[in-house]
Structure 1
Amino acid sequence: MTAAVGVPVRRGQAPSPGFAHLARLSDDTGLLEHARHAVARREHGYCTDDVARGLVVVSREPDPAPAVLRLAEVYLTFLTHAQDADGAFHNRLSYDRRWTDEAGLGDWWGRALWGLGTAAARGPAPWIQQEALHAFTLGAARRSPAPHAMTFAGLGAAEVLRRHPDHAGAAALLADAAEAVGWPDSDPLWSWPRRRLTYASAALAEVVILAGQARQDVALRAAGLRMLTWLRDLQLAEGRLSVLPAAGWQHGTPRQRYDQQPIEVAALADACATAAAATGDATWHDGVRQSIGWFLGENDTGAVMWDRATGGGYDGLTPDGPNLNQGAESTLALIATLQHARGPAGR
């Protein structure tokens, strides 16, 4: 893990999302998880978590180039290979194409359904949409005991419902995802369902908002918006984002400042965009702009959090600046956040 010291601030207009580094980390099997600086580390292999997130971002592209379409094909094929006959998924594949784990229902199951649901709704080719919907439907019959896994699966279910509003499996999964998250505490100083914040927290609020929208449940939608408002305000410092670190935060304990992860920023951008669409309140676009700004240097150290030469996202923000490694998760978080710059938040 390498940190940069004294990285200059270079703020500016948000760049268009680029896929060069994602292509660099990908091959005909899938998406390699880790990198040393910009060079993929084959010895760490592939994981369903990252491939699924890859399918989300490439499916969001409105007019994908042939190279991006090829990535969608590779990622979809990986996920269908990872899925077993009962709808669970393997997570870790070694570089020699051997699964090193048993199929299960952890976060990777949820993220696989998020990727498949997004491809089913927005995939760049009809056959991708059809195959993704088939695999999603099989996986959506399962349930995970983990709230985060259910959250990611619920995001995929919401995508499916946008294109297939009568999909009973997606509707049931989205409702169960919101139930798994739970209702926020009535304490205005800790408006969250649990006494600890961990990772990708904004996604939990987002899935509650989406479930409230789908069910036309005003109270449920309001609960999700309350969670997201509290979480966003908690992570603002003098108008810039200061996201919770990888260690999370336990209620009643001192809050650490670093190591901030790009996944938190991307989750907040997605959730704020969803809140803006759900409410028509344009002030939610500020959260998206602040998320974009975090990558451009509007953060606690003033460090630009992506490599302009490679297009890769840096792996984390340390007290000395960015961790210069450019793995899959951070690069996908960068792309996902920059995709929002094409929408109302970018105008």
Structure 2
Amino acid sequence: MKLAYIGSYPPRECGIGTFTQNLTKSMLGIDELGVEQNEIMVVAMNDGNQKYAYPKEVKHQIRQEYQTDYVEAANFINLSGSDICILEHEFGIYGGNSGMYILPLLHRLEIPFIVTLHTILESPSYNEKAILKEICKMADKVVVMSHKAILFLTTIYDVTQDKIEMIEHGVPDIYFDRVDAKAAFKLTKKKLILTFGFIGRNKGIETVIHALPEVIKNHPDVLYIVLGKTHPNVLRHAGEEYRNFLQQQIKNLNLQSHVLMLNEFVGEVELFKYLSACDIYITPYLNEAQITSGTLSYAMGAGCAVVSTPYWHAAELLTANRGRLFDFNQPHELSQILNQLFDHPETLKEIQANAYKYGKNVTWPKIGKKYLHLSHDLLAFPKQKKDKKETAIDLFLLPPFSLTHIKRLTDDTGIIQHAKFGIPNLKEGYCLDDNARALLMVLMSYKQQKDETALQFMPIYLSYIHYMQNKDGSFRNFLSFNRNFLDEVGSEDSFGRTIWALGYLIGNAPNDAYYQTGKLVFFDAVPYFETLKSIRSIANTIIGISYYLKTNPSDEHMIEVLKRLTDKLIHQYDLNQSETWKWFESLLAYDNGMLPLSLLHAAQHLPDGRIKEVAMITMEFLEEHTLNDGTLSVIGNDKWYRKDGERSFFAQQPIDAMAMVLMFHQAFLLTGNKDYLNKLFDSFMWFLGENDLRLSLYDFETKGCCDGFENYGINRNQGAESSLAYLISHLTVLEAYEEFYQADVNNVSKKGISLQKI
């Protein structure tokens, strides 16, 4: 039998990784001759941009926040010849909102899969509940490690009892004599108390520290060891604040000779030596919401006398005189229990013996056999092949999202507007249009993927926009490479694109400094909104105002401005439309999709039904002339397409494809009609070769996008406009895909939405 596993994996320092490794080894099925009966392969989850030197059984890797990696992994598993997939589920190790990115992978699996649930919440968020329910619904078997978990699954998550399997947390089959272990650490004369595992505020270690003075009065030979590194997530966001707090508490209580904090992540052999040496093991967690504790299981397996707060797993395991419980945040109660146990060594030994007896029944070889038995049962009675629910969006076709070329084009002033092939053309300097697009793109990237490079670029693009704003609120557009202004007032198009980016920033700023700066520049420009003449500038400004209103819906003045600008677009439509020509002008020119897109945005904020009506009519008209048989053919800028004339096929440009992607995305958000997602993806594939030339404009080597194509072929220059158009489109595809699965998971019944198989 070939087994595939999905989870974190050593050398990544993670409790789930240790569990996954132990499980894989225990399921090899080694016979009496030492021959492995089963084959294993691991798909390892990477955190952030970390890279690890994995052992040979790791055959594939997933970067946590890269959606495409999940789809690639599903295809890899399906083609690997594996019989069963086993997923280790913990919300925090998978990407997306509450780990949502794992869902498309599971939807695509073509083999049975078992999920082991390491966290089951009694009061989950809406997303957490929906995601876990969907995982359990797709799984062939759901493994839990406590009876409380079964109760939660059946009563909160609507999982049927017959799908759930109770298999305890395994423990290594390692044994050290207590006397020898103490001697090895030179602690023979000490009464040793131990806590191990990743350190964070929820662990409640300060409770033990505050309990020690009362214990030391009676037992001055007590030593408390805290063994473990600060949790990586805590370290990222708060540094060593909690560890420093504990050190200060130790100093304040004069416990320096009685508490030892070891900032180490030790291997299992060394860990069991510590566990064997300790007299009492403590888990002083601060609340009950822990359905499984690997540290508790290990302590029991090593035969420790455990003293714990009554979190769910501890309350269940420490029955039958296998330990003692004390209430949360009660150091005095803990002091009493510790003194009682140290005062009565015979009671302590009895508890240790009971714990050791339990531990011998849950060693990894025995747990592995239970998982193997479960796997064989699934293969012996296979289910009918499950239907796959997916849109036409196929993330497997997308290249990995990369800011490599944008990094190449960006310096400390802004983004260079042009390039020779993939090399920045410094002679052309900078422009407002591209820095506005760049700001929009990095905001989207950081919002979706928490990309640190995107965060670093934000102040560069925002400061360029601020620098180019005149005192009266208007903007210059062009700046030379040596930072000389090249115009007094820029084009209306550049103005509109800037307002679009600023409006998006106000609703999606990563911190208050960016928010306040964006808001200042935005409102300084407001007096110019209603002076605009260019309908594309008006459209872009409408989009910017619409994004602003998402977070400021009660701004009546801005709603009125939005209404008047929208009326201008509707008026242009009324002037130019006819029975056969449903458009705002007498020609289809450039950036066409932005016009219906702006009305689709406005329709979310204005109750006038005519706005949505004109948006849908013009969108369908544009689609009729550019999207046939699933292939996008945008209007070429060579001659454009004049009413009653012939359309141009050459000088097709990426910004037009981007506008189509954005337009169909907004149409999906407004209507819930899944067909727009298919059209969105068809439009995006224009970049990757589904176009009139059947050539990819995306450059897989430079990670940039070519400037368009002419009658001679691809224009290989890769300027900012084209590359940003590609990246904004790419991010929109990822966002739309997640939104579809969010709707699927939530089983939302919005007007017009269909979650049936497509």
Q: Would the TM-score normalized by the shorter structure come out above 0.5?
A: yes
Structure 1 stretch displaced more, 314-323 or 48-57: 314-323
**Post-superposition CA distance 1:176-217 (Å, at most 9, x none):** 332232335553421102111211111011112222221121
1:251 and 2:643 are equivalent in the alignment:
yes
Q: Is the 8 A contact 2:630 2:679 kept in 1?
A: no
Q: 2:557 & 2:499 partners in 1: Cα distance? A: 12
Deviation at 1:140, TM superposition (A): 2.0
CA distance in 2, matches of 1:169, 1:127: 25
Q: Decide which moves more: 125-134 or 185-194.
A: 185-194
Amino acid at match of 1:270: L
Residue 193 of structure 1 pairs with residue 581 of structure 2: no
Contact kept in structure 2, 1:200 and 1:263, CA below 8 Å? yes
Match of 1:230 among 605, 609, 621: 621
Distance across 2 between alignment mates of 1:12 and 1:234: 29
Instruction: Output the amino acid matched with 2:412.
Output: D
- 1:212 corresponds, among 603, 612, 617, to 603
Q: Cα offset for 1:19?
A: 1.1
Contact 1:296 1:303 in 2 (8 A): yes
Partner of 1:74: 460
CA contact (8 A) 2:577 2:584 kept: no
CA distance in 1, matches of 2:539, 2:488: 22
Query: Do the aligned residues in 2 keep the contact of 1:157 with 1:170 (CA within 8 Å)?
Result: yes
Give the partner amino acid of 1:128: Y
Are 1:25 and 2:416 an aligned pair?
A: no
1:109 paired residue among 473, 478, 495: 495
Greater mean alpha carbon deviation, residues 206-215 or residues 49-58: 206-215
Alpha-carbon distance change, 232 to 216 in structure 1, aligned in 2, over 3 angstroms: same
1:178 maps to which residue? Answer: 566
Letter aligned with residue 505 of structure 2: A
Contact 1:260–1:317 (8 Å) recurs in 2: yes
1:89 aligns with 2:480: no
Alignment counterpart, residue 164 of structure 1, candidates 533, 552, 565: 552
Query: CA shift at 1:281, angstroms?
Result: 1.3
Match of 1:342 in 2: 734
CA distance in 1, matches of 2:558, 2:591: 22
Q: Report if the CA contact (8 A) 2:637-2:648 is conserved.
A: no
2:580, 2:401 → 1: CA distance?
36
Structure 1 gaps, min length 5: 1-10
Cα 1:120/1:217, change in 2 over 3 Å: same
CA distance in structure 2 between the aligned counterparts of 1:325 and 1:156, rounded to whole angstroms: 29
The counterpart of 1:298, out of the listed 690, 704, 710, is 690
Establish whether residue 145 from structure 1 lines up as the match of residue 537 from structure 2.
no
Equivalent residue in structure 1 for 2:702, among 281, 301, 310: 310
Letter in 1 for 2:537: A
Cα distance, 1:343 vs. partner? Answer: 2.8
Contact 1:196 1:250 in 2 (8 A): yes
User: What is the TM-score of this pair, normalised by structure 1?
Assistant: 0.92
Q: Which moved more, 1:271-280 or 1:55-64?
A: 55-64
Q: Evaluate the alpha carbon distance shift between residue 172 and residue 43 of structure 1 in structure 2; reply closer, same or farther with a 3 A threshold.
A: farther
Counterpart of 1:216, as a letter, is: P
SS in structure 1 opposite 2:686? helix
1:74 shift after superposition: 0.4
Per-residue deviation, residues 291-339 of structure 1 (Å, max 9, x unmatched):
2211111111110111111110110022343211100000001001111
Q: State whether residues 232 and 287 of structure 1, in contact with CA within 8 Å, keep that contact through their aligned partners in structure 2.
A: no
Map of 2:152 onto structure 1: none
Distance 1:333 1:176 in 2: 29
Give the secondary-structure state (helix, strand or coil) at the position aligned to 1:140: helix
**Looking at both structures, which has the greater relative contact order when contacts are Cα pairs under 8 Å and sequence separation is at least 6?**
1
CA drift of 1:65 comes to 2.2
- Structure 2: distance between partners of 1:146 and 1:209: 19
CA contact (8 A) 1:140 1:169 kept: no
Of residues 719, 724, 731, the one that matches 1:332 is 724
Please list the CA deviations of residues 60-113 of structure 1 after superposition, one character each: whole Å capped at 9, or x if unmatched: 122432221121110000001111122100000011111110124621111111
What's the CA shift string for 1:91-137, capped at 9, x where partnerless? 00011111110124621111111111111111232321221112111
- From 441, 444, 457, the counterpart of 1:57: 441
**Larger CA Rg, structure 1 vs 2:** 2
Amino acid at match of 1:258: F
Q: CA deviation digits over 1:157-193, x for unaligned, max 9?
A: 1111111112345423432332232335553421102
**Counterpart residue type for residue 110 of structure 1:** G
The CA distance in 1 between the partners of 2:641 and 2:524, in whole Å, is: 35
* Partner Cα separation in structure 1 for residue 514 and residue 426 of structure 2: 27
Change (3 A) 1:289 1:188: farther
In the aligned structure 2, how far is the partner of 1:294 from the partner of 1:232?
14
* Partner Cα separation in structure 2 for residue 250 and residue 259 of structure 1: 16
TM-score, scaled relative to structure 2 = 0.43
Letter in 2 for 1:64: K
Name which of 413, 419, 425 aligns with 1:35: 419
Q: Is the 8 A contact 2:506 2:548 kept in 1?
A: yes
- For residue 480 of structure 2, what is the amino acid of its counterpart? S
Q: Separation in 1 of the partners of 2:634 and 2:608?
A: 30
Instruction: Give per-residue Cα distances to partners, 1:32-86, cap 9 Å, x unaligned.
Output: 1100000001110000011001111111122432221121110000001111122
The answer to which structure has the higher strand fraction is 2
Contact 2:412 2:460 in 1 (8 A): yes
Determine whether 1:260 maps to 2:648. no
Secondary structure (helix, strand or coil) at the match of 2:709 reads: strand
